Structure 1
Amino acid sequence: MSVPVFDGHNDLLLKLWRARPEDRDRIWLEGDGAGHLDLPRMIKGGFAGGFFAIYIPSPPGGGDLDKAMDSPPYDFPLPEMIEVADAQPVALAMAGILMRMERVSGGRFRIVRSVAEIRDCMAKGVIAAIMHIEGAEAIGADLDALYAFHAMGLRSVGPVWSRPTLFGHGVPFRFPGVPDTGEGLTDAGKDFVRACNALKIMVDLSHLNEKGFDDVARISDAPLVATHSNAHAISASTRNLTDRQLAVIRESGGMVGLNYATCFLREDGKRSEDMTWEPMLRHLDHLIEKVGEDGVGLGSDFDGAQVPAPLGDVTGLPAFQQAMAEHQYGTALIEKLCHGNWLRVLERTWGG
């Protein structure tokens, strides 16, 4: 089967930023046979759109995280905070890459700022892109840059990646572990959430530690959303959400996007791609049980993580949907998981 998929998170901008500038258009428009996403494969896989992350990579050093994830247990300390002056040029470059992707796409890719625009894109077969920031290092405590990025099209932001910012604290990469790993939002972080609410920018809870999560829940007037997180009850990673957190999200009318990263799916916490569809379906079952059929979507982490071998890349989405159908998910539920729930929560968050 093939249902259009609106996805909660990808790191294609990071992949393109790391490529030689003269190669970026070719990688985007034609593909290079690497990673998970490019325009031809998105079209083939039924990828209708999603959140395109602007992410500031940490400086080299600190050990081989991927190697450690192959042999749990592991416990990596949080990287150092990145200064605003160092982060802003990278964030602006990635925003520019996203805008260029739109410009060179021949009308097949569009940056969107409303649900009406997403629906229009889906009706016309145009891929809809939400500008998202994962880790707000490029925004200073004065929040001026938040308004500038909003004017560029920013409609979703995570206050942290898995390192501290001026606004709060991320969880370290630890398995086994719990998300209660440090202090909550700073005073600047609380102001940040209020400003995002006023601008109708979605606040992403993925990577935020538990006390920060609770602070956002107390402050925010929008549905609570974790764009790419899984169930801690199944895989005891610090990155996954406890049943208590899932209940808070459900109470807010929010949602969770299933993360395809193997290390957050597997019970043993390993990074190995050698797995069946079963862990993905098991997490979906648990998330649906705890958050409800209207509160679960997909948040792939394409081009930012190792994904299960049966999926491979974005062209594996129809096979994933077939696995859902064979798991006795009906067509209506599959449509909610693949795009309907994202449109619902964004409509509530952004308005109209």
Structure 2
Amino acid sequence: DLYYAAGLRSLGPVWSRPNAFGHGVPFDFPRHPDTGPGLTAAGKRLVRRCNELGVMIDCSHLNAEGFWDVARISNAPIVATHSNAHALSPSPRNLTDAQLDVVALSGGVVGLNYAVGFLREDGDSDPATTLAEIARHARYMADHMGVDHVALGSDFDGATIPADLGDAAGLPRLLDALRDVGFDEEEVAKIAYENWVRVLDTTWRD
């Protein structure tokens, strides 16, 4: 409640290690996100309180059991702010098809992760990775969940991202890559910002 009063409106219960709330996935490759137990009792209380206050819960770093606990407990849209499709890049940081299904069913959204190790089929952290790899994940997730559940994410802070992207100034080039895989202008607008606005309007209380 103290953090909420200070302005907190989005929260990730874990990073890539266990903590008081649950278990985060390690950065092993290849690996499934089913890496251990789910949320602790404190983690479940945290999810319920976030729902009551209108704080968005970010499932990006949660392991599979933690994700499923959030899906069972939460009455808000399920969100992963920076994750990709496990079917295309088998990093435990990415979401399986079953997880994508639940995100869509909840009205939630998955933000594309630009870190190349979570984009490539081989998990290599090569900055020469093209923007087409990000677009490939966007296309897969849109075909699987519907375009209303795909959005821009990021991971600019410390991750290796495609050199062609560079930083936020390169996002227009990413939007062009989305057009190259068949997204029309209405769909690009949804991915760029409209889907986030919808989910935040649904989740936040003020």
**TM-score using structure 2 length:** 0.97
CA deviations 1:120-159 (Å, max 9, x no partner) are xxxxxxxxxxxxxxxxxxxxxxxxxxx1111111000010
Residue of structure 1 equivalent to 2:82? 228
Residue aligned with 1:302, SS: coil
Residue of structure 2 equivalent to 1:293? 147
Residue aligned with 1:175, SS: coil
Residue aligned with 2:147, SS: coil
> In angstroms, what is the RMSD of aligned CA positions?
1.0
- Which of the numbers 63, 84, 88 marks the counterpart of 1:209? 63
Question: Is residue 181–residue 209 contact of structure 1 (8 Å, CA) maintained in 2?
Answer: yes
Residue of structure 2 equivalent to 1:271? 125
What is the deviation of 1:320?
A: 1.3
Larger relative contact order, structure 1 or 2 (CA cutoff 8 Å, min sep 6): 1
Q: What is the distance in 2 between the residues matched to 1:282 and 1:325?
A: 11
What is the deviation of 1:351?
A: 4.2
The structure carrying a bigger strand percent of its residues is 1
Question: Is residue 255–residue 291 contact of structure 1 (8 Å, CA) maintained in 2?
Answer: no
What is the deviation of 1:340?
A: 0.2
What is the deviation of 1:289?
A: 1.5
Question: Is residue 11–residue 57 contact of structure 2 (8 Å, CA) maintained in 1?
Answer: yes
Q: What is the distance in 2 between the residues matched to 1:333 and 1:247?
A: 19
Residue aligned with 1:299, SS: strand
> Max radius of gyration: which structure?
1
CA deviations 1:146-205 (Å, max 9, x no partner) are x11111110000100001111100011110000000001111111110011011000110
CA deviations 1:249-272 (Å, max 9, x no partner) are 111111100000000001110111
1:239 lines up with 2:131 in the alignment: no
More displaced 10-residue stretch of structure 1: 189-198 or 322-331: 322-331
Residue aligned with 1:174, SS: coil
Q: What is the distance in 1 between the residues matched to 2:182 and 2:46?
A: 42
Q: What is the distance in 1 between the residues matched to 2:204 and 2:166?
A: 33
Identity %: 57
AA partner of residue 333 (structure 1): E
Question: Is residue 261–residue 301 contact of structure 1 (8 Å, CA) maintained in 2?
Answer: yes
Question: Is residue 53–residue 205 contact of structure 2 (8 Å, CA) maintained in 1?
Answer: no
Q: What is the distance in 2 between the residues matched to 1:169 and 1:287?
A: 25
Unmatched 5+ residue regions in structure 2?
A: none
